[in-house]
Each structure stands twice: as C-alpha cells, then as structure tokens.
A and B are shown apart, each in its own frame.
Chain A
C-alpha cells in the first residue's frame, strides 16, 4: 500500500507543485526554485526507492477509479523503461530549474515559468507512467498545451507566438491522431490497459485495422518527435527561453515520440510496413537534420537541427526493432539527453553573456570564458561521437546495428552507408560549433563583453558534462544495468544481457566510426568558408522551408478556403437564407411524411362550435391583416397581432388549460408594450417605396406567398392528422397520477414545472436572465439613428399638452392599480401549486405592475419614487433557485428534489408549502427582474436620446460661439 501511495505521489507531485507555484508572488524567485527542486528531487527519491524492484523485472502499478462505468481508470504502470525515462526527465528537470533560476531575467515571472515547467514535467511523466492508453493520450495532449505555453512564454515577441502556435498545431494534430489510434488499438487488443495491449501484439498485427492504427500512431509519434516532414516546428520553438529548449530537446517533448515508438514496437513493430515507415522516416530525418544543422548560422538553430537528426537516429533504431537496436535506442536517448541539455545550456550562456547567437559574429570565446568553452567542447565532442564520451558508445552501437543484417531490403542494405554519412555530418557540425564560437579571431562587435557566467549557472552544465565523461568511460558500471532492464521491459524477459564496453577490438563499427570522424573533419575543413558566407541553410534546399510550406497550407486552409467557400456558398442577405431555412424545414417535413401521412380511419372529432369558429374568423383575419400591414402601418399591425394573440389566449382557455391562457394573456401585454416602445425608433414610412410596385418585388412577394401557403397548409394538415387520432397514453398520465402524492399539488402543469421537471425550468429562467442581461448590454451602447433623435412630432407641437393633461384620469387609475396588481401577483403565486397561476404568471404580473407606472406617468416620475433593481431580482432569483435545489443535498437527495406538505395557517387555511414553492420564488424573482430589465432598458432610450439631443445642441452652440 505504501508503494502504491508513493507511486501516486510520484505521478501527481509535479502538478501539485505547479499549483502552489502559480499562487506565488511575481518576485518569489528563490521560493519558487526551491519548491521545484525539492519536488523534483522528491520524485527522484521515490524512483530510487523503486530501483531494486524494477531491476528484478517487476512491473509496479497503481490504479484510481476515474470513470469505471466505461472502463476508464487512472492506471499507472512503471517498468524498467518508464523508470529510466522518468529518472531522466526528473534529473534533467532539476538541472534545468537551477539553470533557469539564473538565466531568467528579473522582469520575467519565474514562479509562473516554473509552474508551467512543473506542469509540463508532470504531463511528460504522465505519458511515461500511464498504464492506460487513453490516460496516456490525455497526458500527451497536456504536453502539447504546456509546451505551447512554455515556447510562447515571452509572448511579447511575434517569433515566440508563431513558434508556439506552430508547435501546438503540429503536435496537437498528432495528439488527435494518437487518440483515434489508441481507441482503435484498444478495440483491436480488447482492452485499453497498457499491459494487456503490450501482450497482444499478434492480435493487433493480424487485425484488419492494423493499417489505420499504424498510420495514425506513426503520425502522432513523428509529429511529436519532429520527424521529416513534420520537423519544422522544432526550430520554430527555438524562440522559447533557453531552459525550455534545453528541456524540450533533451529529455522531454520530442522524446515522447520516440518513447511511444519504442514502447509500442513489440505491439506494432516487426512488420515490413513498420520497418519502411519508421526506419525510412528516421533515416531521412537523420540525414536532412544533419545537413541543415551544418549550414545554420544560429547557434540554437544548429542545435535544433542536430536534435532532429539525432531523433532520426533513434527512430531508425526503433524501426529496426532488434533487441540490440532497442537497447541502442534507449542508450542513445539517455546520452543525447545529457549532452544536448548541456549544449543548450552552454549555448544559452553564450547568448546570455554575449548578446548574440549568430555564429558569424561569435568567435574566440575560449579566452574570455575558458570553463564554459571547455564544457561545451566536451559536450559537442560527445555529440560528434568522439571516443571516451557517451555519444561515442551509442553511436557505435548504432553503426553496429546498421551493419548487422536484418531483413535484406534495399533500405537495410543501404543503412551502413547512410549511417556513416550522417555520422560524418554530425562530426562536421559539431566541429563547426566548437571552432567558430570558441576559436578563431576574437570577435569585437558583440553587444556585450563576454565573461564567465554566474558559477551556479554553470553547475548544471558541469554536472552533465561530467556524466558524459563518466558514462563514456565506465558504461558498464554506470548506465549498463538500468539500460538493460529498460530494454528487457520493452523487448521481453528473454533478452540476453548486453555488456556495454568501449573496446570491442578492431571491427566494422570501429572502422566506420574512424571513417566518420575523418570524413567529418574533412567536410568541415573544406566547407567552413563557404558555409559561413552562404545563406542560412544548405544550398539549393534552403529555399524549401518546411515552415513556409506549413504556413502556406495553413493560409490556404484557414484564409483562402473559407473565403472561397463564402464567396460560392454564402450570401450576406438574410432573406435568401431565411427562404432556404423555411424551404429546408418544409422539405424535411415532406420527406419524412411522404407516403406516411394518413388520417385516422375514424376521425376523433368534436362538434364545431359556432362561437369558436367566429373567434377564429377574427383571429385569422387579424393574423392576415398583421401580415399585410406590417410594412407601412406598424401600429395597425401591432394591434392586429395583439388580436391574434388574444384569440390564441381564448383558445387555450377553451380547451381546459387555464395556466396557458393566463400566461399568454400576461405575456401578450408585455410583448405589446415592448414592441410599442420599439416603434419610436423605427424610420417613418409615409409614402410607398417605389420599388415595391415594380415587377421583381411582385414576383418575390408572389413566390414567398406560395412558400407561406405551402408551409401553412402543411402545418394545418399535420396538426389535423394528429389531433384526430386517439391519444396514446404517455408520460403525461404518470404526471397526472403522481402530481398530488409526489409533488403535493393539484395543478399538474405547475407541479411539472416546479417539481418533476424543475431542472428544465431552471434552465429556462437562466435563459431568461441571460436574454435580459444581453438586452441591457446591447442597449448600453445603443445609438439611435440621427433622424430618430428629435422628439416625436406629437411632442414638438408648441401648445403640446403634457401627457398628464390629456391622460390624467387613466394615469391616476394606473397609479392606483399598483398595489392591486401586487396583490394579484401574490395571489397568482400562492395558488400556483394547486390552481392556475404560478411563478411565471406572478412574475409577469408584477412586472406589469411596474410597467404601468412607467406608462401612466414618465420615467423620471417613477424612478424618483420606486427603485427597482432588476439585476438584483434576477440574481436573487437564480441563486435562490440554486440554493433550494442544493438544499436537497443536505437531506441526501439529488439536486432539486422537492418536498411537499400542506401547512394549516389560522384564518388563511390550508396552504401548500412544498419546497417547490421556494423554487417558484426563484422563478418569480427572475421573471420579474428579466422582464422589468428589458422593458426599462428600452424605455430609458428616450431619456438617453434626450440627453444626446441636449449634448448635440450644446456642441452646436459651442461651435457657433467659436465661429463668432
């Protein structure tokens, strides 16, 4: 159990540290560094504790239930390979954190930076430790996001933003591929558990989905590990602070891709497709990266392309897949991490102390900074593969593997030559790095005078270089055992023990190494001058930049294509779109009803009632009249619309739904008032628009009339077909049966709203509140059209009697209605549960009570007497509803469970006192707030327009004064 918990601590400690760091103050540099270092070292301590178990071939696991219902749990798994990798990540992490402490300027927020670093470390470690492939995908995506934030840490610069965006686009695309690949892999293997998948290689390779799985999987690994043709994001990521580069390029991020390749090589590898795809991509990247690195003038650019090249080497080995190759790959991962991290840090020191990274300007730095120079030279020699250094060993293992016969294909046969060429190139660029920066004439035009950096900035480099030497000289004593156990955990327990030795006698790999060293030196000796004078990149192909290709593609996809589609498919006019929408709706209805629409054999009809028929003659005429008059006689149309609404309301009453009738009537009132308030701001339309009488307009109207007629007929037909069928018993019966016992009310509609489906109602009032706020926000910026600012002509008449004069009696009545309406509102509210009424109706009634005051008098009069704070009403209502809902939790019920009972109050009698009533208060308050907010916001525009008018007059007066 202790082991289990320690394992969880190991996995989540970096995230916890990141959270803590993100709360630290901007200048808490020491605290932040201390926290990070302690957390990373604690992680290393836990790993050290697991060492003996790992060495004996044990696989540790820990498991936390996450979504057990779909078989997704937070499974962690630690074997030799993951152990080695995690140790690498954490130890390089410690050094990078220490380095960053000295590297980052005081103006940068170090705690924020380290928080991101720690989160990134946690994500990277998560990939290594996850025991469920879906969890692995989550961590994988997390590294993409965290690296985006880290690369773009200096987001003030365009290069950092572009580099971060490119990295995110490429690696997140790979992440999506990985998700699909892992889902399919889990399907093929029958489980998403990593251990199970690793054991079911045969089943996966024989599965029909193997092709797609492999393709997507490789896309993910190649994008992350910057393999050709996805290599371009890595140099762009150089805009990151150097500690980030040192970390991303050595132990993390790009190594995640090769980790994945090696981890899954027993499952997916061993086929011809795997060999050609992986080794092929690896070899191309190996050579291309080395060539480009040789020609880069930017110090970090050279290192970036050399990283790409070395990743290509590791990928090539993963493609070969033999036990020796896997061992060599793992060994090279470690060695590369060590020397590349130290080289990046050294490059960072050079940049920090001289102010430039351009190798054409740098030179002769050995004199002013001998220690740094020595360290960098040793590290670069390790990169070149000089004997007695760690790089030599793994490179020689690579050469040995390339010479070994594998499958006899042309690629396998060509491998030794390609490997030697790449090694020679790597010698050449390492030489260039050393020779141009530290030797030669001392440069005079540097932005800063170079000198040795702070001692502690150099310490991490010293340690790493020391490891280069140590591993290089005593490989079998230092890394030998852990490398072997790591490779065994990948390949299988039957792998023989490989003793890593410096001297194997004079054999083919040694000869190749010597040839590579010699050729590399020759290449540099001959080409140095031409390279320094040449462009930033190899001749001929420097014009073809992956970055540019990517940008072109992205530009086409996100700029040209949408605009092209817009030009071909879209219109800026609303009418054609609406027409399409209506036609699509009609079409969809027709398609689904075609041949199916039939009327019931014996129609279930009620005898027509004359009064009801007459009612709808009026209602129909009102609707048609509104449609006819809405353009030129808005007020008439509004009245007619109200008529149609009133008839609708009566219809609800007629067919036994008093709740609907009440609500419809009240909403009708507010809608009409709202539209009336809006009419003021619309343009006057006295004379007919000439175009309307022309033929095209008539054609348009005719066409729309046909569409409308079809739509109306369709609605009528469907409504009739359904209404005349017998009612199928539905959930409504259940509501009727249970409303009283479960909901404690006899008005089923209200019980449904506030009890059975209270969560829906909660959503509704939230929508209402959002609309209210949106209306308010939109109107805050409202500027009326210039011709509407002047007061309406009724108010402009000189002898204009004020509103009070000709509406005095109605106005008094309206004011007196105020208390009455409040009582009506309360009445609606309290009877709601048992009789027609409820929160909605009561809310709208109270809103009308306020509204009438505004209509009867004027804004200023009302607001000097009553203060309505609609936003508070809404807030109180929403929060109250939530609180009532959460109250159910206290009693151990789900959200919004209501409790119902009747309370006997003296004088008043039995009152329903369900907690649903409290919820209804929330509904009520929100409705009042939202409705009042909307109406008052519209009504206030007159006042504001008045103010704008006054302002304009003053401005005009000022102008005149100035003119005179």
Chain B
C-alpha cells in the first residue's frame, strides 16, 4: 500500500509541477490543484497508513491511541482542503481579470516575444 500511495503522490506532484511551469494560466491552475492533492496526501501520509482503524472513538473511557488513525494530520489536511479551494478560486478570478485586461491567457499577460 505504501508503495502505491507514494507513487501516487509522486505522479500527482510531477504532473502538478510540470503544469505549474507551463505558460497558460489554465494549465497553472490545474497544476496547482494537482499539487494540492499531492501535498495534502503527503501531509496525510505523515500519520502513517491505517487501513481499517476506526476513526471515531467510543463514548467515554480512555482509548489506546495506537488503535486509531492519527487525527492530527487529518485535522491539518481538512483545513488545507478548504483553503486550497479558496486559493484556487482567487487564482481563477485573477486569471479571468488578467485575461479580460490583457486579452491573452498567457501567465505574463503577453505572448512570448521572439
């Protein structure tokens, strides 16, 4: 499982990085989304993989933490998901405004000059 997930993180981040370096603003926004998946999962994986461990505790009584999924990375990622949505929205609007102002969707606001 670990191998699959690390490869998944690798593929997602490679695609993301490649897109972030591209000249068209839509490519960059898709790249940022992919990167955020990769980074979120990377943070999530820092709590180790616990397939089948119960995420919710029973009421009352002290629980043995080793039997449960680590809640800390999950809490971090949960807010990260919402914030990455916010940055995507912001970036999309900047993209639209730039496109409206400059007439191009190149990230520099002008086509590459030769």
Contacts and interface: CB of A to CB of B under 8 A. Distances in A.
Interface of A: 572-575, 578-579, 582, 603-609, 612-613, 616, 619-620, 623-624, 626-627, 630-631, 634, 637-638, 641, 644-645, 647-648, 651-652, 654-660, 663-664, 667, 670-671, 674-675, 678-679, 681-683, 691, 704-705, 707-709, 711-713, 715-720, 722-727, 729-733, 735-737, 739-740, 746-749, 752-753, 757, 760-761, 764, 767-768, 771-772, 774-775, 778-779, 781-786, 788, 834-836, 840, 844, 927, 930-931, 934, 937-938, 941
Given A578-B21, A605-B2, A732-B47, A670 B79 contact: no
5 tightest Cβ-Cβ pairs between the two chains A and B: A712-B14, A716-B10, A708-B18, A732-B72, A733-B65
A664 B33 contact: no
A834 B59 CA distance: 9
Given A671-B88, A712-B14, A767-B83, A732 B71 contact: yes
Contact of A671 (B44, B52, B75, B85): B85
A606 B21 contact: no
B4 to A, nearest CB: 5
Given A713-B14, A720-B2, 11 more contacts: A573-B108, A641-B30, A641-B33, A651-B8, A656-B55, A660-B81, A711-B13, A718-B42, A724-B2, A749-B71, A782-B97
11 contacts: A604-B48, A641-B34, A656-B52, A708-B15, A712-B15, A719-B45, A723-B49, A725-B48, A740-B61, A927-B82, A931-B85
Given A616-B7, A660-B78, A735 B2 contact: no
A753 B79 contact: yes
- Bin the interface of chain B by size: 35 or more
B24 A631 contact: yes
Contact of A648 (B4, B21, B40, B100): B40
Nearest to A628: B15
Contacts of B74: 657, 659-660, 749
B78 A623 contact: no
Contacts of A736: 57, 63, 65, 68, 71
Given A579-B21, A719-B45, A670 B95 contact: no
A369 B40 CA distance: 83
A715 B73 CA distance: 17
Given A605-B2, A720-B2, A722-B45, A779 B56 contact: no
B41 A746 contact: no
B99 to A, nearest CB: 6
B81 A664 contact: yes
B92 A938 contact: yes
A626 B88 CA distance: 16
A682 B103 CA distance: 9
Given A626-B15, A934-B89, A658 B55 contact: yes
Given A627-B34, A664-B81, A674 B11 contact: no
B51 A655 contact: yes
A799 to B, nearest CB: 31
A656 B69 contact: yes
Contacts of B87: 771
Contacts of B53: 656
B4 A608 contact: yes
A855 to B, nearest CB: 17
Given A612-B4, A735-B71, A749-B71, A782 B96 contact: yes
B113 to A, nearest CB: 10
Nearest to A726: B48
Contacts of A626: 15, 19, 30, 34
Contacts of A708: 14-18, 21
A711 B86 contact: no
Contacts of A836: 55-56
Contacts of A718: 42
Contacts of B18: 627, 704-705, 707-708
B2 A771 contact: no
A438 to B, nearest CB: 65
B79 A760 contact: yes
B75 A757 contact: yes
A654 B69 CA distance: 11
B14 A709 contact: yes
A749 B100 contact: no
A644 B88 contact: no
Nearest to A844: B82
Contacts of A573: 107-108
A507 B9 CA distance: 94
Contact of A749 (B27, B60, B66, B75): B75
A627 B88 contact: no
Given A623-B15, A626-B34, A713-B10, A675 B5 contact: no
Contacts of B31: 627, 630
